[in-house]
Amino acid sequence: MKDGQPSAIYLKDYQVPAFLIDKTELVFDLDESVTVVTSHLHMRRNPESKHKTAPLILDGGEDVKLIAIAMDHYQLPSEEYCLTDNQIIITATADEFILTCETLIEPQNNTRLEGLYRSSSMFCTQCEAEGFRHITYYLDRPDVMSVFTTTIIANADDYPVLLSNGNEVSRSVNEEGKTVAVWHDPFPKPAYLFALVAGDLNVIEDQFVTQSGRTVELKIFTEAHNIDKVDYSMDALKRSMKWDEDKYGREYDLDIFMIVAVDDFNMGAMENKGLNVFNSSCLLASPKTTTDDGYQRVEAVVAHEYFHNWSGNRVTCRDWFQLSLKEGFTVFRDQQFSSDMNSPVVKRVEDVSFLKTAQFAEDAGPMAHPVRPASFIEISNFYTLTIYEKGSEIVRMIHTILGEEMFRKGSDLYFDRHDGQAVTCDNFVQAMQDASGINLSQFKRWYSQAGTPRVEVSGEYDDVEKTYQLTVSQMTPPTSNQPTKLPLLIPVRMGLLDNEGNVLNADLDGVNAQEHVLHLDKAEQVFKFKNVASAPIPSLLRGFSAPVKLSHNYTVEQLLLLMSSDNDGFNRWSAAQELAVRELTALIEQVKLGETLTVESQLLVGFKRVLSDETLDKSMVSLILTLPSQAYLSELATEIDPHAIKAARTHLKRLIGCALEQKFADCYSQNNAKVDYLPTADQIAQRKLKAVALSYWNESDSVTARRAVIDQFNAADNMTDQFSALSIAVNVGHSDFQVMLDDFYSQWSHEALVVNKWLMLIAGQEADNGLDQVRGLMEHEAFDLKNPNKVRAVLGGLGSSVSTFHDTSGSGYEFLADQIILLNKRNPQLASRLCTPLTRWKKMTPSLSVLMQKQLERILSEELSKDVFEVVSKSLA
Ligand code: B3K
Ligand code: ZN
């Protein structure tokens, strides 16, 4: 960092705003060269502020050019206000006044994709968290809520569609022949929920009748060539609206709900009031171009953004430290929704697997932060897995502790009590506590303590007394700025099995049941079960009832039993993972010591049983058969040696593939039925199992297996089958894989989202000339540095290639650092996210660690955005 270092802001410094904005009237005169934004802000001093004479300080980005500013129509001369790079300060104001600002912006040059910018041929906005200040001067904070009226003026030929929040109240033609559209949103909202879209777009329309009988118009807009890919989104939207009524009693409030797809977008989507804007990757779906995972993502994101209408928009955040108030709760809601729409166990395994891989890594790294952070330099850096996924786990634990009925009472109370307000995580927990009568004061530590708690459990059976005693201890390791931690309230759902895998009844504190929820609240405690017929095997942390690392010294036989017989589906998967981790850990050590790799794989025994178990859901079979990922094993390692992890995984996978060759071949053909594609849970499960079987089968040197890959690739009528075949060909180094990659590109070069999959697959290849390939991709006609999806495809792909990214020369790290430096100025949010793999440097094996550190230091010596500075400087600290 060359100049002055950006400073942090702190939660403890929060103060209510000195001014409020009751009404916001905006006029946008859109133009490809300069856009003029005029605002009329109806302001008054906030009676709740104790600073009765505080100056008015408006936020505004350095990219906003002030033309004129007036108070109650009096043009302020420049000596009556102070204009800095990012603020206007006006010392003398009345108690109530109308502030008028005329500003110029250049959306066509906005590569940050925050504020108003252009994507393809359209204008669109992204205002969360602090993008509105790049549009005009404003009190850009979530606790300033205002009623917006937005006038959009644009050339009718290029921008027939002009949208903003709320309802369209008028549309006319002005004296220059331009269209003038006026939108009014009756619901007060913070500026981060403002949206504007202008473009030549196609639309599909539908309706939803709410539980109280109101008809809501539903519209999804895309560019013409994508309009055939939004039927599934519309269907997901209607299901979400119904589900939120049924499950939470929440009805949609405006008469119209719109979604627009844009290609250039930093995140997945945005919940602007009445006008959601989506990254096209999270909205478009068609069988030929979208995989099953893609369909499920679209369903989940459509639901997530819709659910924000209550958890986020009607009840919003007081300040950005409370981000998880809306994000954690909304992720929990979208997870519940997907679970109800598909298979609950499968959904839980997928979510937990992601949490344990990525969020646990974040919680153990230099950017570890509590779900309610105490400080930040750049809020964009805090749209993290901790805020979202761990935030959701916190809500889930409240759900577990309160039970379904009390939780619903709590959420009703929360929504009713705080409707129209900007509130805190404490307010959420308070509502849950008030509705249930359950004291959650200790539980609240989950919001302020960073790090993943470790829970150790040991069991002792007394054959005479027929009692079983569990001794449980918890500790949370220190994280930066938090050297000591206090015990948390941790709900541990558990059951007991006998040696045959049958469920046992047991008494705990007078309650006789097959399942109990232990409430851990001390550093160490003992739970004593009575009337336990025989020595049990505990099935612990069922459904992953708390985001902790739990350990128990299971024998291999016990893990095999849990894997094949536990009546908790989640724990069957969990036992398989534990067994695989043990075998892989042993192999990793052998690689590190230069020994010949040998393993008496018991996992094989378990896999054989699972493959023959007709009662198991096919998705569960695939999940159990999936070896722990490179990323998960890295998270578990005390010192990451990516090459050793890769070698161990490759060895075990091959061993299993060869040993069970016939079983995989049979499994493949049994599931290779020809059906008309539907994204239903059953079909998805079948395609997934087929892909897993094909992948293992290709570990053997079977020519038939190789042939099956090519046949599937050529015959596929859906992207799931086509892409899984292509990935297997690339990963096993099939002799035809280059031809297949070329064919794939020729077939799909006109479909940007499919091309992104192709870019990612090539960039992630384990190839000797990997970096040259990545360089080639960045020069390819299909690449565009302005498009975050493409940048993520190539550089995310690179990050997943062990041989290229972790090349022992450090060339992979250097290349990534070059791209971060390049993007730092163009798109700081994107650049900052790309730093993640380098931030793990302290955990890497020493020879790689120093190479990563060197690149981080090189980045830090540049003139950096706040975004990149915060991540890199914290990583090096
Ligand atoms: N709330 C948005 C995230 C916007 C992030 C801006 N840096 C999407 C979501 O979580 O629903
Ligand atoms: Zn969200």
pLDDT tens, residue by residue, 805-850: 999 999 999 999 999 999 999 999 999 999 999 999 999 999 999 9
For a mutational test of ligand 1's pocket, the pick from 270, 309, 324, 386, i.e. the residue with the most ligand atoms closer than 8 A to its C-beta, is: 270
Task: Please indicate whether residue 481 or residue 820 has the higher confidence score (pLDDT).
Answer: 820
Alpha-carbon span 536 to 676, nearest angstrom: 47
| Cis amide linkage into residue 129, ω under 30° from 0 | yes
pLDDT at 480: 87
Among candidates 550, 517, 515, which has minimal Cα distance to 438?
517
Q: What is the mean pLDDT of the chain?
A: 98
Instruction: Kindly report the protein residue whose alpha carbon is nearest to atom 6 of ligand 1.
Output: 128
pLDDT tens, residue by residue, 492-533: 999 999 999 999 999 999 999 999 999 999 999 999 999 999
Å from CA of 721 to ligand 1 middle: 31
Give the tokens for residue 393. 């786990």
pLDDT tens, residue by residue, 733-789: 999 999 999 999 999 999 999 999 999 999 999 999 999 999 999 999 999 999 999
- Pocket lining: 327 vs ligand 1, CB cutoff 6 Å: yes
For a mutational test of ligand 1's pocket, the pick from 128, 279, 302, 870, i.e. the residue with the most ligand atoms closer than 8 A to its C-beta, is: 128
- Pocket lining: 267 vs ligand 1, CB cutoff 6 Å: yes
pLDDT at 1: 47
Instruction: Kindly report the protein residue whose alpha carbon is nearest to atom 5 of ligand 1.
Output: 128
Sign of CA dihedral 130, 135, 141, 143: negative
Alpha-carbon span 506 to 469, nearest angstrom: 11
Checking if the pLDDT of 534 tops 60, the result is: yes
- Pocket lining: 383 vs ligand 1, CB cutoff 6 Å: yes
- The DSSP string of 392-407 is HHHHHHHHHHH-HHHH
- Average pLDDT (434-443) is 98
pLDDT at 3: 54
Q: Which atom of ligand 1 is nearest to the CA of 305?
A: 11
pLDDT tens, residue by residue, 281-338: 999 999 999 999 999 999 999 999 999 999 999 999 999 999 999 999 999 999 999 9
Q: Which of 25, 114, 299, 305 is catalytic?
A: 305
Instruction: Kindly report the protein residue whose alpha carbon is nearest to atom 7 of ligand 1.
Output: 380
| Ligand found nearest the CA of 130 | 1
pLDDT above 70: percentage of residues in the chain: 100
User: Under a CB-based contact definition with an 8 Å cutoff, are residues 66 and 88 in contact?
Assistant: yes
Q: Which atom of ligand 1 is nearest to the CA of 327?
A: 10
CA dihedral 290, 295, 299, 300 (to 10 degrees): -100
Alpha-carbon span 367 to 481, nearest angstrom: 11
| Ligand found nearest the CA of 328 | 2
* Cα 505 → chain centroid: 39
Q: Which atom of ligand 1 is nearest to the CA of 271?
A: 11
Alpha-carbon span 596 to 463, nearest angstrom: 44
Q: Using DSSP bridges, classify how beta strands 511-513 and 422-423 pair: parallel, antiparallel or unpaired.
A: unpaired
Confidence of residue 552 (pLDDT cuts 50, 70, 90): very high
Known active-site residue 96: no
User: Under a CB-based contact definition with an 8 Å cutoff, are residues 427 and 411 in contact?
Assistant: no
Instruction: Kindly report the protein residue whose alpha carbon is nearest to atom 8 of ligand 1.
Output: 270
Å from CA of 133 to ligand 2 middle: 21
Task: Please indicate whether residue 648 or residue 673 has the higher confidence score (pLDDT).
Answer: 648
* Cα 112 → chain centroid: 20
pLDDT at 741: 98
- Pocket lining: 270 vs ligand 1, CB cutoff 6 Å: yes
pLDDT tens, residue by residue, 132-142: 999 999 999 99
Phi, psi of 256, deg, nearest 5: -145, 140
- Pocket lining: 297 vs ligand 1, CB cutoff 6 Å: no
Å from CA of 301 to ligand 2 middle: 8
Lowest mean pLDDT among 18-22, 95-99, 672-676, 713-717: 672-676
Cβ neighbours around 239 below 10 Å, total: 17
Instruction: Kindly report the protein residue whose alpha carbon is nearest to atom 9 of ligand 1.
Output: 270
Instruction: Kindly report the protein residue whose alpha carbon is nearest to atom 4 of ligand 1.
Output: 128
- Pocket lining: 867 vs ligand 1, CB cutoff 6 Å: no
Å from CA of 22 to ligand 2 middle: 26
- Pocket lining: 129 vs ligand 1, CB cutoff 6 Å: yes
- Pocket lining: 128 vs ligand 1, CB cutoff 6 Å: yes
Question: Which positions ≥6 away from 445 have C-beta within 8 Å?
Answer: 486, 488, 489
- Pocket lining: 378 vs ligand 1, CB cutoff 6 Å: no
| Domains in the chain: ranges and CATH | 21-307 (2.60.40.1730), 322-552 (2.60.40.1840)
* Cα 843 → chain centroid: 24
Rg of the chain in Å (alpha carbons):
28
Alpha-carbon span 95 to 113, nearest angstrom: 36
Checking if the pLDDT of 4 tops 90, the result is: no
Instruction: Kindly report the protein residue whose alpha carbon is nearest to atom 3 of ligand 1.
Output: 270
Confidence of residue 5 (pLDDT cuts 50, 70, 90): confident
Checking if the pLDDT of 2 tops 50, the result is: no
